[in-house]
Structure 1
């Protein structure tokens, strides 16, 4: 299902990381959820995963309740193969994120899999 919210859609996989930082810093839980496919998987720091919009929303409500400040980090150019892309960012604290983005039927991109810290 394409991103049909009031938020600007990601027209490239690389937009997703930038939008994440902007929306997280704005405290925009729904904007963060809109970056994911409806059945996306978000890895959790203590193990396990949040699956789908409802669970991802719950995670981001808890995270943003503490009003953290997110910095952009250094984003690597996405590796794209047809309708899939691998995105990755080295964060300021040295953590590394890795995500799989999927091109939607309307040409926009959403994350299908998100591992926010592969070094943790």
Structure 2
């Protein structure tokens, strides 16, 4: 078994004891509009894909992207993956300290992420390749600031 270096050490208000728990926790955080809880599900070195090949890397950039998505209404009812835990099926393929999580909405939208086991045995996402990929509101402006469309 390969052991990957663990840089996932920040505290989170929610501790996922399995990778399958991340998606419902995200849906709850979105429903509550709790940006801290949303970002807390990602490792400090996580990367989230944005439209046009852009990426949000690290908590600060991820927070800005999700804040823009919330403000633009991209997350929530009718929005991106994970806004309604009841409408989502979640699967995880775990190998050692890594897992690929896949969530499917009733409308057929599929989101995939990679999670990593933390030093304390919990799980956090380290790569989110699909949740904001179609959310133009999360793209930085030429000045580098996010603009809500």
- What is the TM-score normalised by the length of structure 2? 0.72
In terms of mean alpha carbon deviation, does 62-71 or 87-96 score higher? 62-71
Between the aligned partners of 2:52 and 2:29, the Cα distance in structure 1 is 24
- Rg larger in structure: 2
Q: Which runs of 4+ in 1 moved over 2 A?
A: 66-69, 72-77
Structural mapping, 1:64-83, within 5 Å:
64-67=70-73, 68-69=76-77, 70-72=83-85, 73-83=87-97
CA contact (8 A) 1:104 1:110 kept: yes
After TM superposition, give the deviation of residue 66 of structure 1 in Å.
3.8
How much is the aligned-residue C-alpha RMSD, in angstroms? 2.1
After TM superposition, give the deviation of residue 71 of structure 1 in Å.
1.6
CA contact (8 A) 1:17 1:75 kept: no
Is 1:95 aligned to 2:102, yes or no?
no
Unaligned runs of 5+ in 2: 1-7, 78-82, 135-149
CA contact (8 A) 2:102 2:111 kept: yes
More strand by share: 1
Is 1:2 aligned to 2:30, yes or no?
no
Unaligned runs of 5+ in 1: none
